[in-house]
Amino acid sequence: MTILLLATVLFVFPYNSDSSSDIPYDNLAYPVLLVSTGGTETTTGSGFFYNRHDATYFVTARHVLFDETSVELIEQFPLPHLLIHKAEWKQDDPKMKWILVFYGVMSAKEKDELLSVAPRSVASKEAIQRLYRESQKLRLRRAAATLYSYSPKPSDSGLNQIQLELPKLYQAGQIMYHPSSDVALIRIATPKKIGEQNLLTPIDGVTMTGPGILGLGKDTVKLFDDVLVGNTVYAFGYPTSISQLNPFMGVKFPLLRKGALAGKNNSLKTIILDCPIYYGNSGGLVIEAERIGFNTRFSAIGLVTNLVPYAGKWLQNSGYSIAVPMDFVEELLKATSKN
């Protein structure tokens, strides 16, 4: 089955427009909700569609689709500072062994850093070596997923639904993840033009129904070096941890957060947002509003990956969040095209 493809409209938008919204109305159709199922558990995440010349991709955070890797150790040890954002200790029961969790693919350099600070026991060394080996091929969290999004036409209330057979897509190489950054892609369809209509032909393992989707175009993307601290940002997504508990919000209804681009971490190549996020926001699109004369240019700059906690009596949401820049999405697409 094919579905109408509606190309991107992130554009220069005048401040003195008659529009009642600060952003183009159709941009509210960018958020995509992912609901993944398997066994008795259901997980959710956010994302967006990205249109390229050869295919349309669903983009989200890697941890939305893939499990972390972990090993048990008898004793805990301080983690190297540069790995704190990738590894952590867990202990569900004080009587149990410590569990070292690693997020993503561990590099040989990161393995050596862990070995350099770990106890010299044979068991500890072997556990870290096993953690390294098992992280080289990440495991899917769930067997199936459904993507939900709304039409960019205000008059069209239909809901897009895209069914994904995740193991089938993963085995066929249609699901890709970045080895060092929290980014993943799913190739969902290839473009097909019939008359004046731009249609999508689903990839094997994808079933599509709905009025039409809105995806980014490459000319709307802004890379890390050009992102400007202090500009207004909008984070799109589905914070299901809020909407599931609140009768005033629909679980399948996207929410928008507005904040400021608070800073950039050049060493880790991440974007810091003065914009709180919650469970379910991971993978959501971040748009920067850049003032150019009397106009505003809206650009896609990245995707939300982490909230930033602060420690008091317990960990709390600081109101800041982390976004991965679009550079890593482009890197992953470039690597995929070579395979």
Q: What is the pLDDT of residues 87-143, one digit of tens each?
A: 999 886 766 789 999 999 999 999 999 999 999 889 999 999 999 999 999 999 999
Q: Can you list the alpha helix ranges (DSSP code H) found in 135-269?
A: 166-171, 240-243
Interval 322-339: pLDDT, tens: 999 999 999 999 987 765
The arithmetic mean of pLDDT across residues 225-249, rounded, is 79
Pick the CATH number of 3-65+141-338 from 3.30.200.20, 1.10.10.10, 2.40.10.120, 3.40.50.2300: 2.40.10.120
pLDDT at 12: 45
Residue spans in the chain of domains classed CATH 2.40.10.120: 3-65+141-338
Cβ neighbours around 261 below 10 Å, total: 23
What is the DSSP pairing of strand 159-165 with strand 175-177? unpaired
- Alpha-carbon torsion 122, 123, 125, 130, what sign? positive
- The answer to whether the predicted template modeling score (pTM) of the entire model surpasses 0.85 is yes
